[in-house]
């Protein structure tokens, strides 16, 4: 790993150099607030953003993604045979991703490449992607990332970590991908390692201390699934839920999708769309039976998946990075921090 | 509004103590400064958690659909009108619901307030018409009247239209010059301008259906967008499919919408969904002299036939 310093006056120039080799994504402000999206040729990532309504999930896992296509035209030799849809897997970079949002992509990767199955769409996109993170100097009030195994300065899922020190960035080059990106940008001025490390560590400590919100889940692993599933707290948690998909769509670690075929004339496309376990349609069987027909069972599923099933399956912590988006954006403020702490503290009555 | 909170708690506590209702639906302070969330109190103890302030934005009529329980519910003007609509549409029986009416001086707009601050809000304290808001970086005292939600600024019935008990004195109804100014602005556009306006309006929609699900009117067992045989609407992020959802949903609310603003409140993308429904409120008012949810004995205009119908084709 090496440390580079970047004068902010030269940052845009570097981004312009990167544009020639990479498709660039980053935080950009719209009427809805910031989102992480593709940047036009005259746009630069807004590195000062506090929060983004949506995470960088859509860069690697778009809300609607073409998977396969075919033709019904029987004069074509390969009619009715599904073929993989074309997509651009040339190098791309997300500049300005938050460290915990990058960690979320690692969680998605666990699911999309789990030994038994490899999702070619996500994995190919991930391979093409360089993640240039920006350390969070001033965490928001709903940020609880330090208690989910990541944090405002977590570099473990990044290729480069940028640290804003006022008039310059320090860039920690973490991987070979990061090295190539930095070279392309011309970000090569070595920083005084000792001074830079000290400054970064001081900012890191300050940021981590500013995260005041936290969750506890250390007891959840040893509790039985059935015990938590049957705990008499789900009706109260679920009461106010309106069953919209906000929490799942703004969540950087929610990966469920629905597959749909759409045809027009002789051409047919198979696509996948983000799906949400909050919707009754998510589990509706063709028979009409719905195993999660009640609101409470859907709310329970979302939290049990994130806080218990995932934990048990992968033994790599919970399926939540503590970004706080669902807490802030839930129209009825169902708070995963409270739910997690309740589960952690839950004791079955004898 | 502390006096309301106190009164609501005492009414709710008595109802639960006397076993007159199974639960009292009201609001409880959430985990964020500007979040008062729908909450069901089932015991006297839980009744003490009920609150009422200027952030009680969700419409509680949404929680009354298809239930057999006897329920007490806290109702502002708009909620009470939706309860009337629910009763008229047979979603709940009048004797099943005990209405705790709350005269309302308007709810504040979360987005208008947060836009004044760079960082997250940490405190929200009301003192009459004055509100003290703190964020991580600063503190500011604001006047409630400057930060009301758009729907509250054009509200015609701040007082409950139906109730069993009131939690406070009636407030004065606002005199408004023109409550449909926002609609007229769109009506005055030429068709191309209007189309691009609506296209831009829904461009950022992520189809979470928060607007639909926060709406007390949207109680269909299967919404047309969820229907799979036949499938009316594509499920992807296709512009036409997204617009189809918004346009059709709005039309389904024609003559039934109380302009309570829950749809906009729920939208994570800040889409002004009311731009669609408000036009239908205006049409209902102009064509049928109709305001939703004022009278238990009247059916919504699109639900009935009248010889006085303004359209010729139907006669």
When pLDDT is cut at 50, 70 and 90, the band that residue B307 belongs to is: confident
Name the closest residue on chain B to residue A260, using Cα atoms: B235
Q: Tokens 């004791």 identify what position?
A: A347
Q: Is residue B1 classed as helix, strand or coil in its secondary structure?
A: coil
On the question of pLDDT at B126 being above 90, the answer is: yes
Task: Give the model confidence (pLDDT) of A24-66 as tens digits.
Answer: 999 999 988 999 999 999 999 999 999 999 999 999 999 999 9
pLDDT value at position A135?
98
Contact A242 B122 (CB under 8 A): no
Confidence of residue B175 (pLDDT cuts 50, 70, 90): confident
- Condensed to tens digits (0 to 9), the pLDDT of residues A168-179 reads 999 999 999 999
Q: Quickly state the pLDDT bin for B3 (edges 50, 70, 90).
A: confident
- pLDDT at A12 exceeding the cut of 80: yes
Q: Taking CB atoms and an 8 Å limit, are B236 and A262 in contact across chains?
A: yes
**Contact assignment for B265 to A337 by CB distance below 8 Å:** no
Q: What is the mean pLDDT of residues B132-147?
A: 95
- Which residue from A253, A319, A211 is spatially nearest to B120, judged by alpha carbons? A211
pLDDT value for B315: 66
> What strand order describes the sheet that includes B139-143?
B121-127, B130-135, B139-143
Q: Which of chain B's residues have a Cβ under 8 Å away from the Cβ of A246?
A: 208, 210, 266, 268
What pLDDT does A1 receive? 60
Mean pLDDT of A271-288: 95
B191-202 and B239-252 are packed helices; what angle lies between their axes, rounded to 10 degrees?
100
Model pLDDT for residues B47-104, shown as the tens digit of each residue: 999 999 999 999 999 999 888 899 999 999 999 999 999 999 999 999 999 999 999 9
Q: What is the mean pLDDT of residues B140-161?
A: 97
* Residue A348: band (very low, low, confident or very high) from pLDDT cuts 50, 70, 90: confident
User: Which of B25, B63, B113, B210 to substitute to test the interface with A, most A CBs within 10 Å?
Assistant: B210
- Burial tier of A338 (Cβ tally within 10 Å: 0-12, 13-18, 19+): middle
Name the pLDDT band for A350 (thresholds 50, 70, 90): low
The answer to whether A252 and A61 are in contact (CB under 8 A) is: no
Q: Please state, in angstroms and as integers, the Cα–Cα distance from residue B306 to each residue in A209, B291, B310, B314, following that order.
A: 68, 16, 9, 10
Query: Tens digits of per-residue pLDDT, A104-148?
Result: 999 999 999 999 999 999 999 999 999 999 999 999 999 999 999
Q: Give per-residue pLDDT as tens, A142-169.
A: 999 999 999 999 999 999 999 999 999 9
Q: B127 CA to chain A: closest CA distance, Å?
A: 24
Q: Is A289 on the interface with B (CB under 8 A)?
A: no
Q: Which of B40, B42, B120 to mutate to test the interface with A (most CBs of A within 10 A)?
A: B120
Q: Which residues pair with B242 in a beta bridge?
A: none
Contact B74, B8 (CB under 8 A): yes
Residue B125, SS3 per DSSP: strand
Cite the DSSP H helix spans in B150-225.
150-153, 181-187, 191-202, 210-214
What does the pLDDT look like over A228-242, one tens digit per residue?
999 999 999 999 999
Q: SS3 letters for chain A?
A: CEEEEEEHHHHHHHHHHHHCCCEEEEEEEECCEEEEEECCCCCCCCCCCCCCCCCCHHHHCCCEEEEEEEECCCCCCCCCCCEECCCCCCCEEEEEECHHHHHHHHHHHHHHECCCCECHHHHHHHHCEEEEEECCCCCCCCCCHHHHCCCCCCCCCCCEEEEECCCEEEEEECCHHHHHHHHHHCCCCECCHHHHHHHHHHHHHHHHHHCCCCCCCCCCCCCCHHHHHCCCCHHHHHCCCCCCCHHHHHCCCCCCEEEEEEEECCEEEEEEEECCCCCHHHHCCCCCCCCCCCHHHHHHHHHHHHHHHHHHHHCCCCCCCCCCHHHHHCCCCCCHHHHHHHHHHCCCCC
pLDDT of B1 > 60? The answer is: no
Question: How high is the mean pLDDT of chain B?
Answer: 95
A residues 226-245 near B, CB within 8 Å? 239-240, 242-245
Stated as kind and residue range, the H or E segment containing B27 is strand B23-29
Q: Which ipTM did the prediction report?
A: 0.94
How far, CA to CA in Å, does B211 sit from each of A136, B154, B280? 32, 20, 16
């Amino acid at each position: 790993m090496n440390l580079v310093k970047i004068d902010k006056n030269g940052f845009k120039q570097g981004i312009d150099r990167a544009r020639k080799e990479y498709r660039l994504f980053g935080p950009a402000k719209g009427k809805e607030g910031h989102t992480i999206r593709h940047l036009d040729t005259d746009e630069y990532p807004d590195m000062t953003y506090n929060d983004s309504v949506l995470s960088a999930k859509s860069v690697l896992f778009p809300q609607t993604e073409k998977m396969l296509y075919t033709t019904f035209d029987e004069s074509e030799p390969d009619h009715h045979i599904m073929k993989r849809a074309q997509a651009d897997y040339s190098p791309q970079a997300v500049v300005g991703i938050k460290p915990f949002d990058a960690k979320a992509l690692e969680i998605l990767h666990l699911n999309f490449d789990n030994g038994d199955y490899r999702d070619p769409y996500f994995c190919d996109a991930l391979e093409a992607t360089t993640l240039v993170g920006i350390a969070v100097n001033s965490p928001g009030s709903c940020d609880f990332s330090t208690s989910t195994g990541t944090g405002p300065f977590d570099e473990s899922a990044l290729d480069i970590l940028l640290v804003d020190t006022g008039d310059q960035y320090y860039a920690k080059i973490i991987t070979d991908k990061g090295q190539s990106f930095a070279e392309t940008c011309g970000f090569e001025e070595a920083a005084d390692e000792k001074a830079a490390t000290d400054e970064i560590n001081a900012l890191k400590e300050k940021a981590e201390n500013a995260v005041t919100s936290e969750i506890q889940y250390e007891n959840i692993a040893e509790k039985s699934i059935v015990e938590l599933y049957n705990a008499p707290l789900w009706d109260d948690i679920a009461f106010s839920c309106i069953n919209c998909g906000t929490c799942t769509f703004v969540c950087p670690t929610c990966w469920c999708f629905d597959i749909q075929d759409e045809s027009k004339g002789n051409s047919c496309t198979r696509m996948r769309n983000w799906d949400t376990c909050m919707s009754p349609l998510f589990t509706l069987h063709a028979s009409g039976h719905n195993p999660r027909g009640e609101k409470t069972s859907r709310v329970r599923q979302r939290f049990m998946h994130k806080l218990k099933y995932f934990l048990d399956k992968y033994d790599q912590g919970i399926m939540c990075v503590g970004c706080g988006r669902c807490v802030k954006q839930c129209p009825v403020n169902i708070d995963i921090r409270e739910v997690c702490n309740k589960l952690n503290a839950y004791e079955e009555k004898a | 509004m502390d006096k309301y909170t106190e009164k609501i708690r005492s009414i709710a506590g008595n109802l639960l103590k006397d076993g007159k209702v199974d639960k009292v639906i009201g609001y409880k302070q959430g985990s964020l400064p500007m979040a008062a969330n729908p909450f069901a109190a089932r015991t006297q103890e839980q009744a003490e958690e009920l609150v009422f302030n200027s952030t009680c934005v969700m419409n509680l009529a949404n929680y009354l659909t298809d239930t057999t329980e006897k329920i007490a519910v806290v109702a502002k003007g708009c909620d009470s009108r939706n309860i009337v609509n629910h009763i008229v549409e047979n979603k709940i029986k009048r004797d099943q619901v005990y209405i705790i009416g709350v005269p309302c001086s308007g709810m504040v707009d979360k987005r208008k307030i947060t836009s004044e601050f760079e960082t997250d809000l940490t405190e929200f304290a009301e003192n009459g018409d004055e509100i003290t808001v703190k964020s991580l970086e600063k503190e500011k005292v604001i006047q409630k009247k400057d930060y009301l939600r758009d729907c509250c600024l054009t509200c015609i019935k701040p007082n409950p239209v139906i109730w069993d008990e009131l939690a406070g004195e009636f407030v004065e109804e606002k005199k408004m010059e023109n409550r449909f100014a926002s609609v007229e602005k769109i009506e005055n556009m030429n068709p191309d301008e209007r189309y691009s306006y609506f296209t831009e309006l829904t461009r950022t929609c992520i189809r979470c259906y928060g607007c639909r699900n926060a709406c007390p009117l949207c109680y269909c067992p299967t919404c047309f967008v969820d229907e799979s045989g036949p499938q009316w609407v594509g499920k992807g992020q296709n512009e036409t499919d997204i617009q189809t959802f918004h346009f059709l949903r709005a039309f389904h609310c024609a003559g039934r919408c109380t302009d309570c603003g829950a749809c906009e409140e729920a939208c994570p993308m800040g889409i002004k969904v009311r731009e669609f429904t408000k036009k239908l409120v205006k049409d209902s008012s102009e064509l049928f002299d109709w305001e939703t949810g004022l009278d238990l004995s009247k059916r919504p205009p699109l639900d009935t036939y009248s010889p006085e119908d303004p359209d010729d084709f139907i006669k």
